[in-house]
Amino acid sequence: MKFSTLLGASTLLTSAFAWLPSGKIRGVNLGSLFVVEPWMMSQSWASMGCGGQSSEFDCMLALGQEAGDAAFATHWDSWITQDDLKAMASYGLNTVRIPLGYWLKEDLVDSSEHFPRGGYAKLVTVAGWAKDAGLNIILDLHGAPGAQQANQPFTGQYAGSVGFYNDYNYQRSADFLGWLTDKVHGDDAAAFSTVFAIQVVNEPLQDTSKTGSMISTFYPQALNAIRAAEEARSVGADKQLHVQFMDGKWGSGDPKSNLPADDALLFDNHDYVKWTPGVGQNQNDYFWHSCNDDVSSSSGAVVVGEWSLAVGDDIEQTDAFKVGPANDGWYAAWWKAQTVAYEKQQGWIFWSWKTELGDDYRWSYKQAVEAGVIPKAAGDGASSGVCNI
């Protein structure tokens, strides 16, 4: 499957194959909307009554179901608004990636688990806003049953050990993906009409000794669940969703090794330079690493689904890297350099749209645009020639 090179960032293409946005994907994550990461939104987290809690699971356990449901409903109504979606489009973005937890399908939550209810209705609303703004959508299973990584609130729980890698939770995940696919093509299809991909799981372990069954069992199971839901709805090939997997470069194994042939697969790579081994901890090395960064995939079309302007924890407050007028120009150039690399492939999705980190714009696309670090036209990065010096 190839991306069109026609102009028009959010034009929807139909052909004999599943559609993709035309041009390069340029997008943002709606981080902490449906899967809260408390480090991103400490003030809002505290106002919800969740201060001191490590994850959604922990907050719901502390508040109780009814009070927790009310707190999260207030959060969903305020964290991302319709005006946010309009602003994204005005900045030349054409895609949003929406992280989701499996608990959105409420009958999958067992008696030992604690998650907010009512999120699906808000997802339909947000998807409709995105459609109205001309934005395309990737739906991402960000928080998997049992937690795909330990001590990571992006899974929805701060689990001391991983519990995802077994048949029970593979089945629950496949059930979620099949259910979500049915919703996209079913009664809520109008709101979901710009969804072009579903990601089967976000950031599994980077340890092939522990992910073998995920590759051999869950990945084919997930693909089958999505395609079976589409077949049940008589969805034509031109309307099928792309099914997205973490690319082999992520470190969980070859995602295609046990998959059947399919014309609508997409791959995801997360490229946080701050955690990339071997990059010198200075401006010059960060910049030139990004200019020369090869994120291509042997599996197929790849989108860099998460990246940011964050630098190493040990250097982020040094004179060379701290946020402020002295370094804003360097951050602006580095943002452009990263987009140069990512638009050599199918494009990019920045993490994230919004944070509550004071003046630190390095994780917030919105704040970086307002600071003049990211241009108001998202395509200006890759076309800037910043690496041709």
Q: Which residues have a catalytic role annotated? A: 203, 306
The per-residue DSSP string of 70-125 comes to HHHHHHHHHHS-HHHHHHHHHTT--EEEEEEEGGGSGGG--TT----S-HHHHHHH
d(CA 19, CA 1): 9
Q: Say whether 339 sits in a helix, a strand or coil.
A: helix
Q: Say whether 364 sits in a helix, a strand or coil.
A: coil
Answer whether 179's CB lies under 8 Å from 141's CB.
no
Long-range contacts of 213-218 (CB under 8 A, 24+ apart): 213/165, 213/166, 213/170, 214/164, 214/165, 214/170, 214/252, 214/253, 215/252, 215/253, 215/254, 215/255, 215/257, 215/258, 216/257, 216/258, 217/167, 217/170, 217/258, 218/170, 218/173, 218/174
Sequence-distant (6+) residues with CB within 8 A of 315 are 281, 321
Half-sphere exposure in the Cβ direction for 212 (13 Å, CA): 2
Answer whether 352's CB lies under 8 Å from 365's CB.
yes
User: E strands within the chain?
Assistant: 25-29, 95-101, 136-143, 195-199, 242-246, 265-270, 302-306, 347-350
Q: Which helix (H) or strand (E) holds 168?
A: helix 167-185
Q: Which helix (H) or strand (E) holds 372?
A: none
d(CA 198, CA 332): 31
Whose CA is closest to 39, among 259, 362, 366, 382? 362
